[in-house]
Amino acid sequence: MDKLKAFSDFFGKTFALWAALTALAAYAQPELFQWVKPLIPWLLGIVMFGMGLTLNPSDFKILGRHPKSVLVGVAAQFVIMPLTAFVLAKALGLPPQIAAGVILVGACPGGTASNVMTFLARGNVALSVAVTSVSTLLAPVLTPAVFYLLAHQWLDISAAAMLVSILEIVLLPIVLGVLANTFLHRQTQAAADVLPLVSVLAVALILGGVVAVSKDKIAEAGLLIFGVVVLHNCIGYLLGFFAAKLCGLPYDEQKTLSIEVGMQNSGLAATLALKYFDPVAAVPGAIFSVWHNVSGSLLASYWAAKADRAAAKK
C-alpha cells in the first residue's frame, strides 16, 4: 500500500507534465480521445467526489478562528478573476466564444491544486482548504450568476441550467464524498491513497477530450488563447496577493490567497463550456488547467526558497 501511495503521490506532484503530454497527444491524434467527450461530466464528478472524501469538519474550524481571511479569499475569488477576464476580453477584442470561455474560467471556484501549491509555498494550508471548499460550495449559485452578468452580452446563457449542472457535477459528488468519509471513514482512508492518481487521470482525460474536439479552433486561435490565459492567471496571483495585503492579512495568508485566486477549477469551466457552448469556449479552461499548474509550481518554489533563506538567517 505504501508503494501505491508513493506512486499516486508522484502523479499528483507531476500533474502538469501528464496534463501537457495528454493535451499534446490529443492534438496530434484527436481520434484517440473523441470517446472522452460524453464522459467529461462524469470524470469531473469523480474528481469532486474525491475532494469530498478529503474533507472533514476540522477543515472548517478556521472559519470560526479567522473568518476575515476566509471571507477575503472567497470574495477575491469571485470578484478579481471574473472582472480580470472581462477586462481582458474587452481590451483584446476577443471573439465571443473565446471571451465567454475566459470569463467562465474566471467565474469558477478555486481549484484543489491550490492546496498543494500553498503547502509547497509554506502558506496557510488550512486557509487554502477552507477557501477552496467554501468557494466550491457557493459555486452553484455564484458561478452562473457572475458568468451571466459578465458574459451575456456575447452569448445566450441559461444561468438556471448551468446552476443545475454545477449542482449535479460539483455539489452532489462533494456531498456524497463527505458522507462517505463520515460514515465509511475506514474504507475511504484506504481509497484516499490513490486519490491523486485518480484525479490526475480524470483531469488529464478531460483535457484530452477538450483538445480532441477543438483541434481546428486551437490551430486557429491557440496562441491568442494561451496569451490571455497567462495574463489572466498572473494578474490573479498579483491582485490576490495585494488584496490580502490591503486587508492586513499576515504574509503567509497573502501567499495563500495569491495562489487561491490565481488557480481556478478550470476543469469545471471546460466541462460547462463543452456542454453549453461551442467547443472553442472550452479551450481556455483546458489551457488554464495545464498552465496554472506550471506557474503555480514556479511561484511555490520561489516562495519556498525565500522561506528557506529567511529561516537560515535566524
- pLDDT score, position 248: 93
Q: pTM for the whole thing?
A: 0.86
Rounded to 5 degrees, what angle do the CA atoms 180, 184, 185 make?
A: 100
Q: In this predicted model, what pLDDT tens digit does every residue of 241-254 receive, in sequence order?
A: 999 999 999 999 99
Domain boundaries, the chain: 39-307
Helix ranges restricted to H, the chain: 2-13, 15-28, 40-53, 61-65, 67-91, 96-107, 113-120, 125-151, 159-166, 172-183, 185-192, 195-213, 215-246, 251-262, 266-276, 283-313
| pLDDT for 1 beyond 60 | no
- pLDDT score, position 314: 67
The whole-angstrom separation of Cα 4 and Cα 292 is: 27
Q: At what angle do helices 283-313 and 15-28 cross, to 10 degrees?
A: 160
| pLDDT for 12 beyond 70 | no
- Give the DSSP letter string of 112-163: THHHHHHHHTT--HHHHHHHHHHHHHHHHHHHHHHHHHHHTTTS---HHHHH
Is CATH 1.20.1530.20 what the domain over 39-307 is classified as, yes or no? yes
Better-scored residue on pLDDT, 149 or 121: 149
Q: In this predicted model, what pLDDT tens digit does every residue of 256-292 receive, in sequence order?
A: 999 999 999 888 888 888 888 888 888 898 888 888 8
Single-letter amino acid code for the residue at 135? S
